[in-house]
């Protein structure tokens, strides 16, 4: 599509054809998004800008940091505003917003429209008690209607999903389908910027640089964690592997997997439909102490085996106990399911000197 001599294109050769707006969002169609924004705001650009203001995306947030983040957001009437500014801004160009500010916006979506300022310090204490506390600052109780929130989240989830049953047109899957997991749900959005900044390398001479990002939250049903990953100004010598879904999203998935492994509440959410209604005895403090001691002894045995370069028995262990131990030995764990280990790809006692990835299945 052409705006005043400037051509906007999509990554798919030949374009996507006719797209529903939600699907355009899922596949990051610059053509579709810019067309919709331009048609609706070209005669009232101040309305578009005022919406950005409402979402706290035009001025730096007041954060508990010794510096303010830099921002560039064009305003109608500015000397650099042109006919291409509005369509360019619609998909993230001609503007610069800090990652923490973007994540604050995503948090508001996860929080059903309520936007709060990021808080790094809750209180300052000394031995006498609290010197100063810092309560949550609510920026907006509702950045948009609940209907709007509930409309956009399924598309954010579809960005990550490799399931096609809800699609309204026959296009490729979401731009971050490669990080889809059945263990917990993720909602998010990829971003890719082609920078004007170039870098030199001996092999490929001058190279255009890219910035790739992925922001999202999980689990979708009851959001608890959010994260934004930005890989800034990197070179892609192949000119094929620089997109947010390829570069930044996998980093997000590595982080979210670790959080999932260590958060027993998330583990419960992923398995609650399989939990029976059987009553169990109350766990006494003595039994709990014994359980902790038993777990510590098991970890000690695992470390002993790994020091010898042999595979330990992981069956019956929790994922949150397995991952940190193996990472200390530069061994990667891939898992499926939730609960306790019931299967390991490398048998107990086998050598693991050359094993790069250990696959385990949880009950």
Tens of pLDDT along 306-346?
Answer: 888 888 888 888 887 788 788 877 888 888 887 788 898 88
On whether both 356 and 253 belong to a single domain, the answer is no
Residues 6+ apart with CB under 8 A from 207: 198, 199, 200, 201, 235, 236, 237
Distance CA 8, CA 325 (A): 49
| pTM exceeds 0.95 for this model | no
Structural domain includes residue 269: no
pLDDT over 60 at 294, yes or no: no
5: left (phi over 0), alpha (psi -120 to 50) or beta: left
- Kindly provide the b/e burial profile for residues 267-289, where b requires at least 16 CB atoms within 10 angstroms of the residue's own CB: bebbeeeeeeeeeeeeeeeeeee
> Residue 16 pLDDT > 60, yes or no?
yes
Range of the domain at 333: 289-362
Please tell me whether residue 127 adopts helix, strand or coil conformation: coil
| pLDDT confidence band for 267 (50 / 70 / 90) | low
pLDDT at 77 over 80: yes
pLDDT at residue 163 in the model: 65
Report whether pLDDT(104) > 90: yes
b (16+ CB within 10 A) / e for 127-149: eeeeeeeeeeeeeeeebbeeeeb
Q: Verify that 178 and 248 share a domain, yes or no.
A: yes
Does the pLDDT value for residue 143 go beyond 60?
yes
- Most trustworthy range by pLDDT among 79-93, 234-248, 294-308: 79-93
Alpha carbons 145 and 143: distance in angstroms, whole number: 7
**Residue 203 is part of a domain; what is its CATH number?**
3.40.710.10
φ/ψ of 217, rounded to 5, equals -145, 165
Same-domain status, 23 and 170: yes
Decide which of 275 and 254 is more confident: 254
Report pLDDT for 179.
94
pLDDT digits (tens, 9 = 90+) for 336-361: 887 788 898 888 888 887 666 888 88
38 and 158, same domain (yes or no): yes
């Amino acid at each position: 599509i052409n705006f005043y001599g400037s051509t906007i294109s999509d990554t798919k050769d030949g374009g996507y054809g006719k797209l529903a707006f939600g699907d355009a969002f899922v596949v990051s169609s610059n053509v579709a998004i810019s067309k919709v924004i331009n048609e609706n705001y070209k005669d009232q650009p101040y309305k578009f800008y005022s919406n950005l203001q409402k979402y706290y995306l035009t001025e730096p947030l007041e954060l508990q940091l010794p510096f303010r983040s830099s921002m560039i957001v064009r305003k109608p009437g500015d000397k650099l505003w042109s006919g291409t500014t509005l369509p360019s801004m619609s998909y993230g160009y001609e503007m610069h917003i800090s990652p923490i500010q973007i994540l604050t916006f995503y948090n508001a979506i996860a929080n059903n429209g309520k936007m709060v300022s990021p808080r790094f310090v809750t209180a300052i204490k000394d031995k006498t008690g609290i010197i100063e506390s810092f309560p949550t600052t609510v920026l907006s109780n509702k950045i948009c209607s609940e209907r709007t929130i509930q409309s956009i989240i399924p598309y954010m989830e579809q960005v990550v999903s490799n399931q096609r049953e809800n699609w309204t047109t026959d296009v490729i899957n979401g731009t971050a389908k490669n990080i889809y997991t059945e263990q917990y749900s993720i909602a998010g959005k990829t971003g890719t910027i082609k920078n004007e900044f170039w870098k030199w390398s001996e092999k490929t001479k001058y190279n255009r640089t890219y910035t790739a990002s992925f922001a999202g939250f999980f689990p979708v049903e009851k959001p608890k964690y959010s994260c934004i990953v930005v890989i800034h100004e990197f070179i892609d010598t192949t000119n094929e592997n620089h997109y947010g879904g390829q570069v930044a999203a996998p980093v997000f998935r590595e982080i979210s997997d670790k959080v999932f492994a260590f958060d027993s509440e998330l583990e419960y959410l992923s398995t609650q439909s399989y939990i029976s209604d059987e009553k169990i005895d109350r766990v006494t403090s003595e039994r709990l102490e014994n359980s902790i001691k038993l777990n510590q002894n098991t970890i000690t045995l695992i470390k002993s085996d790994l020091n010898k370069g042999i595979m330990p028995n992981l069956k019956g262990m929790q994922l949150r106990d397995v991952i940190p131990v193996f990472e200390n030995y530069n061994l990667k764990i891939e898992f499926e399911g939730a609960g306790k280990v019931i299967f390991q790809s490398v048998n107990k006692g086998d050598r693991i000197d050359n094993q790069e990835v250990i696959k385990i299945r949880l009950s």
